[in-house]
A = this chain, B = another copy of it.
Amino acid sequence: MRTETVENYLKTIYNLSSDNTLVVTNQQLADKLSINPASVTEALRKLHELKYVIYEKSYGTRLTTAGSKLALGIVRRHRIWETYLVKELGFGWDEVHVIAEELEHVQNDKLINKLAEILGNPVYDPHGDPIPDAKGKILKSNFIKLSETKPKGNYKVMGVIDHSTAFLKYLDKHQLIIGATITIKTIEEFDNSIILICQKKDVNISPKAAECIIVQAL
């Protein structure tokens, strides 16, 4: 298997399994990778042979220790590059994900560690995701989704789940950026959209968007 393919599978399994607590289904992988489910089955069989995953037929997949180690390396590279692009090269948080998708596959530990050092060994990337250290150690936070908040509560935006340009530009427009403080005003009965106050302005967030915003109670 080509390393880039292996890496994309391992990273995606990692991202979908929430720190290896969940078993990942073929469907989820097919969706995330935009690949036919039949191809996912084949790939998982090979990854199982390579001992990067434990794939149980018709049930699901999870990473082995070896697979986890690799996945964390890829995630580290992705997030370090995103941070470097934003902090050192002046890119917007809405532009860096696609570039990091390519840069993450460049295999050179010295390079990544050098970038990390220049950045002061950051612990969070521009989207609020934790960056594993060189040994693969990663912080786990207990933040919640905006969709899980209650009216009248005050929260701080800690991160986003979706890294697409479209979504991040939409957040920029409403100043819903990392660190922003918000107050939940109401939740619409009709469609579950959330009305919150950010920078003294009312903002209406769709349920779909609320699933992609990570906050911390204040």
Contact = CB atoms under 8 A, between A and B. Distances in A.
Interface of A: 85, 89-91, 95, 99, 102-103, 105-108, 110-111, 114-115, 118
Contacts of A90: 114
Contacts of A91: 110-111, 114
A99 B106 contact: yes
A75 to B, nearest CB: 18
A17 to B, nearest CB: 28
A114 B89 contact: yes
B102 A106 contact: yes
A85 B108 CA distance: 12
A44 B38 CA distance: 33
20 contacts: A85-B111, A89-B111, A89-B114, A89-B115, A89-B118, A90-B114, A91-B110, A91-B111, A91-B114, A95-B110, A99-B106, A99-B108, A99-B111, A102-B105, A102-B106, A102-B107, A102-B108, A103-B103, A103-B106, A106-B106
